[in-house]
Structure 1
Amino acid sequence: MTSSKILPAMPLLAAGLVATPALAASVTITIPQVKVAEYHRPYVAGWLEPVGGGSARTVFVWYDVKKGGREPGTKWLADLRSWWRKGGNTMKLPANGVSGATRAPGSYTVPIPANLPAGQYVFKVEAARETGGRELVSVPFSVPAKGGSASGKTELGTITIR
Structure 2
Amino acid sequence: MKLHHTLALGLPMLSSWAVGAELAVKFEIPQLNVAEYHRPYVAMWLESAGKPAVTNLAVLYDVKKKENGGAKWVKDLRTFWRKSGRDMTLPMDGVSGATRATGEQKMSFGPALNQIDKLPAGDYQLVIEAAREAGGRELVRVPFKLPLSGKQTHTARGQEELGAVTLQINP
Cα deviation digits, residues 121-161 of structure 1 (max 9, x gap)? 01111000111111111111112344421100111011111
- Whole-angstrom distance in 2 between the partners of 1:21 and 1:147: 19
Unaligned runs of 5+ in 1: 1-10
- Whole-angstrom distance in 2 between the partners of 1:156 and 1:110: 18
Unaligned runs of 5+ in 2: none
Identity %: 49
Written as runs of structure 1 = structure 2, the 5 A alignment for 1:1-162 is 15=8, 17=11, 19=15, 21=19, 24-51=22-49, 53-56=50-53, 57-68=55-66, 72-105=69-102, 106-111=104-109, 112-117=114-119, 118-145=121-148, 146-162=152-168
Give the alignment's TM-score, normalised by structure 1: 0.79
Aligned residues: 148
Alpha-carbon RMSD across the aligned residues, in angstroms, is 2.2
More helix by share: 2
Give the alignment's TM-score, normalised by structure 2: 0.76
What letter corresponds to residue 161 of structure 1 in structure 2? L
Answer whether contact 1:116 1:143 (CA < 8 A) is retained: no
Answer whether contact 2:20 2:117 (CA < 8 A) is retained: no
Cα deviation digits, residues 18-45 of structure 1 (max 9, x gap)? 8495552322222112222221110000
Greater than 6 Å deviation, 4+ residue runs: none
- Whole-angstrom distance in 1 between the partners of 2:68 and 2:122: 40
